[in-house]
Structures are given as C-alpha cells and as structure tokens.
C-alpha cells in the first residue's frame, strides 16, 4: 500500500507529464488504484460509499473489494427482477397505457407478434374448475386475437362504406361490432344523418347557417331523453316540424322535431332501407339486420357532462374519456315507454361511446361480458317469467360500473369468475332497488317500464340461483356437450368463424355502396388505401375480398363491351382479374358472359368447361342465408379448407356464389335481356354454364352439340337432388328460352308455366314470355 509521501510524489510526476497535453489542467490529481494496477475504467452514474480496494491473492490473482462494477450488476438483476414482477402483476395497467384503444391495428399487430398469447396464462388458474370455465368460454366467445380481428373487420367495413356515402355516416353497433359473435347475434347498423346540427344551447349556433339547427332540451322527468327545438332552418323545403305550447296569438312559437315525421322524411330518401319499422329500427325482411336512423350532436347533454370528471379508479383511461367527449352523443327517434304521448321525446344514445369503452376492455373484461350475455341467453331467458325483463344492455352497464369502481388489475384471467360475481352482485342490488342507473346519466333509471316491485322477486330468485350455483352451475347450464362446436380444435376452427362473419357482412355492405358506379370506385380506392396501412394478414385479405367484390359490381355498370373502344375492353379485363378471385366459379362465368356478348364463342366454351370441372353442389354458397343449418355448413366448409390457406385460396377452392346479373347488365346474353329488364337475376352456376354452352353451339350452327347441351340443361334444371329455391323459377325460365330457340315451343310453354307456379321467388319475365308464345301459337 502506498504511503502518503509516495502518493504525493507519484501524483506530482504524473501531473507534470500531463501539462504538455492539457494546459488548463494545473491542479494536482490523485493517482487511483485503477491507474496503478491498469484496471480499465467504466462509467458509473451513482455515488460509491467506499473506494474499491485491490489485493493480490495467494494464487497470483487479484482480489477486488467494494467492487462497483459487480455491485452494479447485482443491483441491475434485482431491479430487473422486480420490474418483471411488477409488469406481471400490473400487466393490464401497462397495456392500457400503451394501447388504450385495443381495436387499433397496432394492438392487433402486437397480439399477432405476441409469443405468449392466451394459452400461456393457463398456469395462473388455481383450480381446475376455473380453468375449465375459461377454456369453454374461449371456445364460445373466441380468443383475444379473434375478438380484436372481428372488431377491426367492422371498423374497416364502416370505413369503406362511409367513403361512398354523402350526408350520412354508417356506424356498426351491437355485440357483433364489439367483437362477440355469439349464436343468434344480429347485426345493428346506425345511419347518422349530417343534414342537421344539434347543439346544447342557443349560444352555440354556428354562423353562417349550413344545416337545420336544433337545441337539446333535456327533461328532468325523463333524464335519458330530450326534445329537439329548432333554432335555425336552412330552407322551408326541409323536414316538417310541429308546434308545442303555442297559445293563440303567440308570435314566438317554439317548433320541435317530431319522431314520426323524421321517420317518414328519411325512409323516403333511403330506398335501400326496406323492411318493417320496429321501434327506432328498420328491420330487414329476414330480421337479421336492424338499421337505426339518428342524429348526431358533437356535445354531450348537460346531465352527462359530469360523467367525465366523476371519481373513478383506473378505468376508463383518460384517452378514452377524451375521445368520448370529442364525439358527443347520438339522438335516436324513440320516446320513453312510460308515457303515452312521446312523439316529441328523443332518446339520448351513447352507442358510439359504449363501443369506444368496449374497445378499451382487456381480454378478461371481454370474457366477462361474454359470460354475462351467455347467462342471460341460456339461463335467465329460459324462464318464461323472466325472459323479457333483462336485456344485454343492462348487463353491459353493470360491467361498466364495476370496471370503473375496482382496480383495473382486478380483471385478471385467474379472477374471471370473481369479476363475473361482482357484476352479478351489482345487477342483483339494482333489481332489489328496481333502479338501474345509466352509465352516463345515473339519474336515468333504465328499469322504468320493465322491472318493478311486482315482478322483481322472481328475477331475483333466478339471479341468486346463478350466484349460488357457482362455477359448476355455469359449466352445466352454459356449455352442455351438444352445444359445443364440432369443427375440431380451437386453432383449427377459428378462421372458419371469421370467414363466415365476413360472408355474412358482405351482402349488406355491397347493397349499401353499389347504388352508383361512382360509389364503387370510391370504395375501391378506400380498399387500396387500407391495404397500405393495415398490418394484419386476414384484414388485408378482407380488403382484397371487398375490392374484388366491388369490381364485380363495376363490371356490370360499364358501357356495353361490344363497342370498339379499346379502353372499355381493357377496363373489363382489369376488373375481371379481381372478379375471378371471389369464388370458385361464378366470376369465371361472368367472364364467359363477357366473351359471349363479344361473340368469342370458342373462348366462352373453354371457360364453361373449366367451370363445370370446378363446380360441386357441396361448395359453400357465400351469398345465401347463413341462418339455416349453420353448423352443417361450417363443417362442410371446414372439410375443404385448412388454416394455412389464405382467404383468397379458400374462396377459390371451397366457395361459390350464384351468377348474379344486375338489372340492365351489359354482360347478360342478348337472348336473356328480358330477364334483367325488371330487376336483378340470380342463377345457379351449373345451369348458367349449360345455358351458355347451348347458346354458343346455336351461334356456331353445331346442331348435334346444341341438342346435347339442351338435354344436359334440361336434366340439370329438373334434378331435384340439389336445388336453389330462390332461383328455381329463373332456371325454368332460362330452360324455356333455350327450348324456344331450338323450336320446341310446347316444352317452352310448359317451362314458363311451371316457373310461374313456384312457391318462392317468381321470375317476372316468365309471364311475358308465356304470353308472347301463346300469341304466336294463335
């Protein structure tokens, strides 16, 4: 060890050596052990209490005491382990900070890249019963990545539709758009008109006046409803109004918007909304889609503003609260059930806000939501005395309140049943008090007109039986063996459920955007833009599918292809490159129709032979009603595809659509133009293939092949082993046309007559063709 004198002498010599390099460094410095023994220095930001000491060991090595470097490593390991423990216990809190909107493409990308997913969390469960409940629920509700993919599917679907609409915005709502595809779930669509502004008070009027402007007048007796008083009118030709509380001789009359007149005004302007008016909804004829016409206010009503600032723990995140405040609310044309005259009271709807809240749910909250909905459907509603008392909206409201009142880390997968119990206790307390507070306006009792002291006892009995039945009761009542899906393992069947949801949404979406060819082009541009921004493989495939389907609609609205314009021909072929990817055969048949109307009969025959080689009656029709025998259709589809295929491969191998000719389609053969004069026409692919073969041979004057094609067409139409009921009349009419062309007018008359006797859809041209044929016989 150096003495003080040797330390001073040695340090002074080193200082003199450094002066030539650093003229500003004139003070004496201490020579450290690091410099004496040649130990490399390292950066250390903290302060050491003791200076490291170095000693020579007996084996000639070096011993370092008070080692700052070693201490730093040990400290880092302790801090890192503590950080991991905090991350595990506060994982949901961290995810809420990082991904407050879990329907975003960034969160979906995170899930797809996550190696743990949800399967690695099974070791968290302390009891086998809780693990069984989780596994059964995931099989029914879906994994988190499936739920988020469904949410993303509806988001991009709305984006594509809204790229085409003017003065109206489409918003998907309900449990399907929230990601829960449970049996019996309907599709709920909100159409928000932008032709009216709704403001909280007269001071908020925007100048100059661009729209009809209404002020929300909330009612203390009905806190969940409002009147819409007009304060500015764009012109007198807009929607009719009614006057309330206007004594004779009053010059300042208050004018209010009436619900019935609003319905009449907008249903006349949206002819696509065909169906039955049910409350605020217009339900389609199949009763699978509910469309709600409503107004939008960028302001929350006065009695809902306190929601943003009331006391809560960690949910919802501030980001979510700000989004809801910026959006405002919707106003739906329906009044309270407890009053007889309610034509001027409109319901305040927070559907968009609720969807934003559900999008912020973690996986446990989503599973709890699904468990509540299943309990309602399979336990509570099976009792005749209670099936009409509760609705899923009440259950969702209970989950909102519980999520706000507890720590977000309460919602762990291992605590799933505990979270469900909290919601059930909340619901029981509400039923006892006959008071269900709206989440945004607690003064609004949503039980009014439904649950009271006369009927709440039987409901309490059912809810308490669910509570005391425990996990075993839920497993027994919610997941009986016959209700479990028989599509194979969860990973094998998940893509099938997503595909069926896509096919289900496709028909409604196409009918919404294809009213004009300009809308179709806007939708295609939106699809191409989404392809550049979305990262999920399935969502990208969905965008391509929508783009290809829209190309089908564009091709039938183009000018006739028999013109000499080269650009028209190129345009047709460009769109058909997309059309042939939407299923196995129908796109190719439209391509064959294109060649037929341009008199390229050899190419038409070649395509029809290819179609007949691909056609199978066991393919899945993706433009048919999926409500009939759903399980059987999914099993058949599952047998023809596998998870490693892309969506496009599954479409072109296992699916098929009817050959669909739009009204006045430029692709319909000249001989069948009468069939599209009155409307659209659908026909089975095998029948249309044989019809085109007959027509080609007829123009080629190949009599023997023409007769063979007619016989094949006849046997195909008359084959009872596989029929499409809604196209049977069309098939008989087409057979009659071919018989008439071949000269067999008696058979043609018989076909037309049989087509008119169909129990389902009747071909409108059959009557005209039969009448003309009868006149000729006279």
Q: Does domain 361-489 have CATH number 1.10.1410.40?
A: yes
Q: Tokens 């086998």 correspond to what residue?
A: 128
pLDDT digits (tens, 9 = 90+) for 73-128: 666 677 777 777 777 777 777 777 888 899 999 999 998 887 655 444 555 666 78
Largest separation between any pair of C-alpha atoms in the chain: 139
Q: Is the pLDDT of residue 533 over 80?
A: yes
Which parts of 235-340 are beta strand (E)? Answer: 242-243, 255-256, 276-278, 281-283, 289-297, 329-332
Neighbours of 157 (CB within 10 A): 21
Amino acid 485: pLDDT: 47
Q: Are 129 and 471 in contact (CB under 8 A)?
A: yes
Q: Report DSSP state, residue 203.
A: G
Amino acid 54: pLDDT: 63
Measured between alpha carbons, how far is 465 from 459 in angstroms, rounded to an integer?
Answer: 10
Amino acid 42: pLDDT: 45
Average pLDDT over residues 279-302: 79
Taking the mean position of all CA atoms in its chain, how far away is CA 125? 31
Q: Tokens 């499936």 correspond to what residue?
A: 146
Taking the mean position of all CA atoms in its chain, how far away is CA 111? 17
Amino acid 251: pLDDT: 40
Strand-pair partners of 171? 190
Measured between alpha carbons, how far is 615 from 428 in angstroms, rounded to an integer?
Answer: 56
For the chain, the residue count is 778
Amino acid 711: pLDDT: 95
Q: Which two tokens stand for residue 274?
A: 């065909």
Measured between alpha carbons, how far is 528 from 152 in angstroms, rounded to an integer?
Answer: 16
pLDDT digits (tens, 9 = 90+) for 681-739: 999 999 999 999 999 999 999 999 999 999 999 999 998 777 776 789 999 999 999 99
Q: Is the pLDDT of residue 5 over 80?
A: no
Q: Is the pLDDT of residue 181 over 80?
A: yes
pLDDT band, residue 342 (cuts 50/70/90): low
Q: Which of 384-388, 462-466, 594-598 has the lowest mean pLDDT?
A: 384-388
Contacts of 716 (CB under 8 A, 6+ apart): 686, 687, 690
Q: Which residue has the higher pLDDT, 599 or 16?
A: 599
pLDDT band, residue 487 (cuts 50/70/90): very low
Q: Is the pLDDT of residue 565 over 80?
A: no
Q: Is the pTM value of this prediction over 0.85?
A: no
Amino acid 12: pLDDT: 41
Average pLDDT over residues 598-606: 94
Alpha helices in 142-243 (DSSP H): 144-162, 174-177
Q: Tokens 């169906």 correspond to what residue?
A: 275
Q: Of the candidates 441, 420, 440, which has an alpha carbon nearest to the alpha carbon of residue 356? A: 440
Burial 95-120 (b: 16+ CB within 10 A, else e): bbeebbbbbbbebbebbeeeeeebee
Measured between alpha carbons, how far is 315 from 309 in angstroms, rounded to an integer?
Answer: 12
Amino acid 17: pLDDT: 44
* Helix/strand/coil for 34: helix
**CA 444 vs CA 180, 219, 408: distances in Å:** 27, 11, 26
Q: Which two tokens stand for residue 441?
A: 């306006």
- The percentage of residues in the chain with a pLDDT greater than 90, rounded to a whole number, is 43
The H or E element containing residue 592 is helix 586-597
Q: Which of 159-163, 181-185, 518-522, 715-719 has the lowest mean pLDDT?
A: 181-185
Q: Tokens 């393992």 correspond to what residue?
A: 489
Q: Which residue has the higher pLDDT, 18 or 134?
A: 134
Strand-pair partners of 681? 661
Average pLDDT over residues 504-532: 84
Amino acid 590: pLDDT: 93
SS3 labels along 409-432: HHCCHHHHHHHHHHHHHHHHHHHH
**CA 110 vs CA 115, 540, 626: distances in Å:** 10, 16, 32
pLDDT band, residue 553 (cuts 50/70/90): confident
Q: Which two tokens stand for residue 75?
A: 């400290």
pLDDT digits (tens, 9 = 90+) for 435-485: 999 999 999 999 998 999 989 999 999 999 999 999 999 999 998 765 444
Amino acid 257: pLDDT: 85
pLDDT digits (tens, 9 = 90+) for 717-729: 998 777 776 789 9
Measured between alpha carbons, how far is 263 from 22 in angstroms, rounded to an integer?
Answer: 88
pLDDT digits (tens, 9 = 90+) for 15-64: 444 444 444 444 445 555 455 545 444 444 555 555 666 666 666 566 66
pLDDT band, residue 238 (cuts 50/70/90): low
Measured between alpha carbons, how far is 650 from 63 in angstroms, rounded to an integer?
Answer: 69
Amino acid 83: pLDDT: 76
Phi then psi for residue 277, to 5 deg, are -75, 120
Which one of 46-55, 299-308, 563-572 scores highest in mean pLDDT?
A: 299-308
* Helix/strand/coil for 10: helix
Alpha helices in 514-565 (DSSP H): 517-533, 537-555
Q: Is the pLDDT of residue 571 over 80?
A: yes
pLDDT band, residue 219 (cuts 50/70/90): confident
Q: What is the CA radius of gyration of the chain?
A: 35
Amino acid 98: pLDDT: 86
Domain assignments of the chain as residue spans, ordered by start: 83-111, 183-360, 361-489
Contacts of 216 (CB under 8 A, 6+ apart): 198, 199, 200, 226, 227, 228, 297, 299, 301, 331
Average pLDDT, the chain: 82
Measured between alpha carbons, how far is 159 from 156 in angstroms, rounded to an integer?
Answer: 5
Neighbours of 491 (CB within 10 A): 10
Contacts of 589 (CB under 8 A, 6+ apart): 607, 608, 611, 659, 685, 688, 689, 692
Q: Of the candidates 240, 227, 234, 193, which has an alpha carbon nearest to the alpha carbon of residue 212? A: 234
Phi then psi for residue 680, to 5 deg, are -75, 160
Amino acid 284: pLDDT: 61
Average pLDDT over residues 524-540: 92
Q: Which two tokens stand for residue 434?
A: 């006959």
- The percentage of residues in the chain with a pLDDT greater than 70, rounded to a whole number, is 79
Amino acid 510: pLDDT: 76
């Amino acid at each position: 060890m150096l003495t003080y004198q040797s330390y001073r002498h040695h340090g002074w010599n080193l200082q003199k050596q450094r002066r030539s390099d650093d003229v500003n460094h004139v003070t004496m410095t201490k020579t450290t052990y690091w410099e004496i023994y040649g130990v490399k220095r390292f950066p250390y930001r903290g302060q050491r209490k003791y200076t490291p000491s170095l000693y020579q060991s007996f084996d000639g090595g070096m011993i370092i005491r008070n080692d700052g470097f070693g201490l730093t490593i040990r400290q880092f390991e302790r801090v890192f382990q503590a950080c991991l423990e905090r991350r595990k216990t506060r994982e949901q809190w961290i995810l809420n900070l990082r991904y407050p909107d879990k329907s975003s493409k960034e969160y979906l990308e995170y899930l797809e890249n996550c190696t743990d997913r949800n399967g690695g969390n099974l070791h968290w469960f302390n009891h086998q019963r809780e693990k069984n409940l989780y596994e059964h629920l995931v099989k029914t509700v879906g994994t988190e990545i499936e739920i988020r993919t469904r949410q993303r599917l509806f988001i991009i679907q709305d984006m594509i539709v809204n790229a085409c609409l003017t003065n109206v915005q489409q918003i998907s709502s309900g449990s399907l758009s929230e990601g829960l595809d449970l049996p019996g779930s309907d599709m709920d669509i909100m159409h928000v008109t932008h032709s009216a502004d709704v403001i909280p008070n007269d001071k908020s009027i925007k100048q100059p006046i661009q729209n009809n402007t209404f002020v929300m007048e909330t009612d203390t007796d009905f806190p969940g409803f409002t009147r819409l008083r007009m304060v500015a009118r764009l012109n007198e030709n807009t929607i009719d109004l009614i006057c309330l509380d206007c004594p004779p001789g009053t010059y300042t009359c208050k004018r209010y918007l009436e619900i019935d007149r609003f319905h009449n005004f907008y249903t006349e302007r949206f002819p696509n909304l065909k169906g039955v008016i049910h409350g605020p909804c217009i339900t389609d004829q199949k009763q699978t889609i509910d469309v709600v016409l409503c107004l939008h206010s960028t302001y929350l009503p006065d009695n809902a503003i306190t929601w943003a600032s009331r006391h809560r723990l960690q949910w919802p995140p501030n980001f979510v609260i700000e989004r809801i405040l910026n959006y405002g609310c919707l106003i739906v044309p329906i009044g309270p059930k407890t009053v007889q005259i309610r034509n001027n009271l409109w319901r305040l709807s927070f559907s968009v806000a609720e969807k934003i809240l559900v999008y912020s749910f973690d996986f446990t909250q989503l599973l709890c939501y699904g468990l509540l909905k299943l309990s309602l459907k399979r336990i509570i509603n099976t009792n005749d005395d209670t099936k009409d008392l509760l609705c899923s909206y009440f259950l969702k409201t209970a989950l909102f309140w519980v999520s706000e009142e507890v720590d977000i880390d309460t919602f762990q997968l291992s605590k799933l049943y505990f979270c469900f119990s909290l919601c059930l206790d909340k619901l029981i307390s509400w039923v006892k008090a006959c008071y269900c507070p709206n989440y945004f306006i607690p003064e609004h009792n949503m039980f009014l007109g439904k649950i009271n002291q006369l009927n709440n006892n039987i409901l309490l009995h059912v809810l308490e039986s669910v509570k005391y039945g425990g996990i075993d009761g839920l497993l027994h009542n919610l997941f009986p063996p016959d209700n479990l899906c028989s599509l194979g393992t969860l990973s094998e069947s998940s893509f099938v459920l997503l595909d069926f949801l896509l096919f289900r949404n496709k028909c409604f979406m196409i009918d919404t955007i294809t009213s004009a060819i300009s809308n179709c082009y806007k939708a295609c541009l939106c699809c191409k833009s989404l392809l550049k921004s979305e990262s999920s493989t399935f969502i990208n495939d969905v965008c391509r599918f929508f783009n290809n389907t829209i190309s089908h609609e564009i091709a039938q609205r183009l000018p006739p292809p028999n013109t000499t314009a080269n650009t028209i021909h190129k345009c047709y072929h460009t769109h058909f490159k997309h059309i042939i990817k939407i299923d196995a055969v129908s796109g190719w048949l439209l391509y064959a129709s294109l060649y037929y109307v341009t008199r390229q009969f050899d190419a038409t025959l070649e395509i029809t032979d290819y179609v007949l080689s691909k056609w199978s009656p066991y393919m899945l029709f993706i433009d048919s009603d999926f409500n009939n025998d759903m399980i059987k259709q999914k099993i058949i589809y599952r047998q023809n595809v596998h998870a490693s295929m892309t969506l496009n491969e599954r479409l072109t191998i296992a699916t098929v659509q009817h050959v669909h000719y739009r009204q006045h389609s430029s692709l319909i053969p000249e001989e069948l133009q009468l069939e599209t004069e009155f409307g659209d026409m659908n026909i089975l692919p095998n029948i249309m293939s044989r019809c085109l073969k007959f027509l080609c041979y007829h123009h080629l004057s190949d009599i023997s092949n023409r007769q063979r094609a007619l016989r094949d067409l006849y046997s195909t139409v008359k084959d009872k082993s596989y029929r499409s009921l809604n196209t049977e009349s069309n098939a008989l009419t087409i057979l009659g046309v071919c018989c008439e062309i071949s000269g067999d007018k008696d058979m043609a008359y018989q076909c037309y007559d049989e087509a008119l006797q169909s129990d389902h859809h009747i071909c409108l041209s059959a009557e005209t063709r039969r009448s003309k044929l009868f006149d000729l016989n006279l």
